[in-house]
Amino acid sequence: MIDRLCALGAFYVQTIQIALARQLQHRAHNLLFVLGMVAEPLVYLAVWSTVARARGGQVAGYTGGKLAAYYIVWTLVRHMNIVFTPYGFEGRIRSGKMSGLLLLPLHPIHHDLADFAGLKLVTIVTWIPIALVLAIAFRPALDPGALQIFVFCVAIWGAFVVRSTFMWALGLLSFWTTRVAALFELYLAIELVLSGRLVPMSFLPAWTKTIAAWLPFQWAFAFPIESLVTPMAAGELLCGLAMQLVWICIGALLVSMVWRRAVRRYTAVGG
């Protein structure tokens, strides 16, 4: 057991190093990519800041400064949420690339997790100067404690793993049919509303928040942001990390169950 864990750890370290080296060759591209994704939160920030001013300076407990903090941290969490897309499975199956992944001694999801983790290390470094510029421009109200900072640093990686497992499980449907784009779009639309990506969770109606509480989306997006931006008790922070762990386990179990059935249907050959 220990030998297997050591081998898995060595695989992650090596794959992350390779991904990191590959990404560092495209520094300008990475900077432009991060800058390109700033537009979305700036639109949200402009809209809700206007609403807050119209309502006397705040909306659902968020002042203009707190909204700025939310959407600046949003930019990093959004990048951490970029994982191997379900749309990529169709290409892997059709081209035969999945055949090579099946030859690996490890489950292919480990390759994607390690490869994208290398990308995240570049993303974080690239994000820091952009966040500083945004902070100077919008003056966020952000004063987290040491525990909040620690939980945030753990939670952004937990969010990455939560979303990776569920995107992988969804992508496995490509083994049964190539016409799954509509299902993917429906899933992503639901995620957009119930994750905290579109608006903070406190902006949602009570019945919507009740539904969201039973789904993994907010633990992959809203929780990491709120753990840093919103004052939270130690118990709430630890409970949030525990919920991330629960959804990671559920996602991993789902991937394992669907994967065993999916590979029995795989018949593609590579060129």
At 78-88, the pLDDT tens digits run: 999 989 888 88
pLDDT at 155 over 90: yes
Measuring CA to CA, how many Å separate 3 from each of 12, 106, 169? 14, 14, 28
In this structure, of 15-19, 92-96, 106-110, 164-168, the range with the lowest mean pLDDT score is 92-96
pLDDT at 12: 85
Least confident of 62-66, 86-90, 218-222: 86-90
Residue 22: the pLDDT is 80
- What integer is the mean pLDDT of 174-190? 82
96 or 111, greater pLDDT = 111
CA angle 98, 103, 108 (to 5 degrees): 60
3-state DSSP assignment of residue 82: coil
More confident site: 210 or 20: 210
Look-up: residue for tokens 């974080």? 124
Q: In terms of Cα–Cα distance, which of 18, 79, 72, 89 is closest to 268?
A: 89
Collapsing DSSP states into helix, strand and coil, what is residue 108? helix
With CA atoms as reference, report the closest residue to 211 among 221, 198, 201.
Answer: 201
Across 119-130, average pLDDT: 86
Query: What pLDDT score does 251 carry?
Result: 95
Question: Of all helices (H) and strands (E), which one includes residue 216?
Answer: none
Higher pLDDT pick, 240 / 24: 240
Instruction: Write down the mean pLDDT value for the chain.
Output: 86
At 87, give phi and psi (nearest 5°).
-65, -25
**Which pLDDT band holds residue 269 (cuts at 50, 70, 90)?**
low
pLDDT tier, 260 (very low <50, low <70, confident <90, very high otherwise): confident
- The pLDDT assigned to 27 comes to 67
Q: Where are the domains of the chain?
A: 43-107+130-265
User: What would the pLDDT profile of 89-110 be if each residue is shown by its tens digit?
Assistant: 877 877 778 777 777 778 889 8
Q: Which residues contact 83 (CB under 8 A, 6 or more apart)?
A: 112, 116, 160, 163, 164, 167, 168
Task: Check residues 166 and 5 and name the one with the higher pLDDT.
Answer: 166
Residue 178 pLDDT: 67
| Residue of 45, 114, 57 whose CA lies nearest to 83 | 114
Residues 6+ apart with CB under 8 A from 162: 216, 219, 220, 244, 247, 248, 251
